[in-house]
């Protein structure tokens, strides 16, 4: 188990210049970084990899930014845009030495509505079809995809572990895994530990976030059962702090962060990492 930090806490978009953050992340004690690549043109992956090596950090995951126009259940044009974007990320991951593409790799974030059952079936079939193609591409490139259920306010497509497992089964690719997040699970799951155990071998990535998106440990989540569940399934993947603050305006608006939840974002990183190392190890 390695501990990482998502780049959105400190910058958006992530560019070549953002690699200056790596030294500080390493000093704080992080082993991996989760890089949110909003547009593949923003980085030279070879340069980023060189800076990672210099800082003795690994890119444990690339976070897909499923913004407007990127939708595997949308129009043909939106589906193509999403596919081209995700395949470009996978190509960059190979150069970065990154094993996992994570996030809501199925639909544009914020698309949440009461869709009729007949329309749901159509959307489901579209996502399965597109993920079959993308997963096959990931297999050939030697990487994996971990789809993340989001809470009901951010998507109406995938909210729970059960739904994620159903999607993985429908796609039927060894390259498609599950990504769980304590923030979203706190809203959608009856019991977080039960969801983790149910995910079992399919769990490939884990976000450890406070119940309010703030510092893990400085919240009401009961972390002891979560730690036991991760141990029970012998989870070996990354545990990443994904938090957002008002400092990064674009992401704050997208994630509905309207107030300062912690004194500083540095505190979220430093105190969060200290807590997770004690709670999960």
Tallying the residues shown for the chain, one arrives at 281
Instruction: Give the range of the structural domain holding residue 131, as residue numbers without chain letter.
Output: 2-280
Give the model's confidence band at 243: pLDDT under 50 very low, under 70 low, under 90 confident, else very high: confident
Domain count, the chain: 1
Percent of the chain with pLDDT strictly greater than 70: 95
Interval 81-100 mean pLDDT = 98
Tell me how far apart the alpha carbons of residues 160 and 166 are, in angstroms, rounded to a whole number.
10
Give the model's confidence band at 177: pLDDT under 50 very low, under 70 low, under 90 confident, else very high: very high
Tell me how far apart the alpha carbons of residues 146 and 61 are, in angstroms, rounded to a whole number.
10
Interval 142-169 mean pLDDT = 97
Give the model's confidence band at 254: pLDDT under 50 very low, under 70 low, under 90 confident, else very high: low
Interval 168-176 mean pLDDT = 98
Interval 88-116 mean pLDDT = 96
Per the model's pLDDT, the better-predicted residue between 36 and 262 turns out to be 36
Put simply, whether the predicted model's pTM sits higher than 0.85 gets the answer yes
Per the prediction, the chain carries an average pLDDT of 94
Contact 59, 48 (CB under 8 A): yes
pLDDT the model gives residue 262: 74
pLDDT the model gives residue 253: 67
Among 274, 280, 63, CA closest to 193: 280
CATH number of the domain within which 153 lies:
3.20.20.150
Give the model's confidence band at 205: pLDDT under 50 very low, under 70 low, under 90 confident, else very high: very high
Exposure of 275 in the CB half-sphere (CA atoms within 13 A): 21
Interval 59-78 mean pLDDT = 97
* In the predicted structure, residue 260 carries a pLDDT above the cut 80: no
Query: Distances from the Cα of 51 to the Cαs of 10, 21, 46, 106, 217, in angstroms?
Result: 17, 10, 9, 31, 31
* In the predicted structure, residue 87 carries a pLDDT above the cut 90: yes
Contact 57, 9 (CB under 8 A): no
pLDDT the model gives residue 245: 66
Interval 40-54 mean pLDDT = 98
Backbone angles phi, psi at 203, to 5 degrees: -75, 115
pLDDT the model gives residue 249: 65
How many Cβ atoms from other residues are within 10 Å of residue 140's Cβ?
10
pLDDT the model gives residue 104: 97
Could you tell me which residues come within 8 angstroms of residue 194 by beta carbon, excluding any fewer than 6 positions away? 229
**Pairing verdict, β 100-103 and 203-207:** unpaired
- Chain centroid to Cα 216, Å, comes to 16
pLDDT the model gives residue 263: 74
Give the model's confidence band at 114: pLDDT under 50 very low, under 70 low, under 90 confident, else very high: confident
């Amino acid at each position: 188990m390695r501990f990482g930090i998502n780049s959105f806490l400190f910058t958006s978009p992530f560019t070549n210049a953002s690699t200056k953050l790596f030294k500080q992340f390493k000093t704080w004690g992080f082993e991996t970084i989760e890089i949110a690549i909003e547009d593949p043109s923003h980085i030279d992956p070879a340069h980023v990899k060189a800076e990672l090596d210099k800082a003795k950090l690994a890119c444990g995951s690339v976070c897909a930014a499923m913004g407007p126009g990127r939708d595997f259940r949308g129009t043909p044009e939106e589906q193509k845009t999403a596919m081209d974007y995700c395949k470009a990320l996978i190509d960059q991951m190979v150069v970065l030495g990154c094993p996992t593409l994570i996030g809501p790799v199925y639909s544009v974030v914020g698309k949440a509505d009461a869709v009729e059952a007949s329309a749901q079936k159509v959307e489901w079939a579209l996502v399965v079809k597109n993920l079959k193609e993308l997963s096959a591409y990931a297999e050939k490139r030697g990487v994996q995809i971990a789809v993340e259920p989001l809470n009901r306010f951010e998507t109406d497509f995938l909210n729970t572990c059960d739904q994620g497992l159903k999607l993985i089964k429908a796609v039927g690719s060894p390259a498609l895994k599950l990504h769980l997040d304590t923030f979203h699970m706190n809203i959608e799951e009856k019991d977080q530990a039960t969801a983790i155990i149910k995910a079992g071998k399919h769990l490939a990535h884990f976000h450890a976030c406070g119940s309010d998106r703030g510092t893990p440990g400085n919240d009401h989540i009961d972390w002891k059962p979560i730690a036991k569940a991760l141990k029970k399934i012998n989870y070996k993947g990354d545990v990443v702090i994904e938090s957002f603050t008002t400092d990064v305006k674009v992401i704050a608006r997208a994630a509905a962060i309207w107030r300062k939840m912690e004194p500083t974002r540095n505190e979220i990183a430093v105190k969060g990492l200290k807590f997770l190392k004690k709670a999960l190890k």
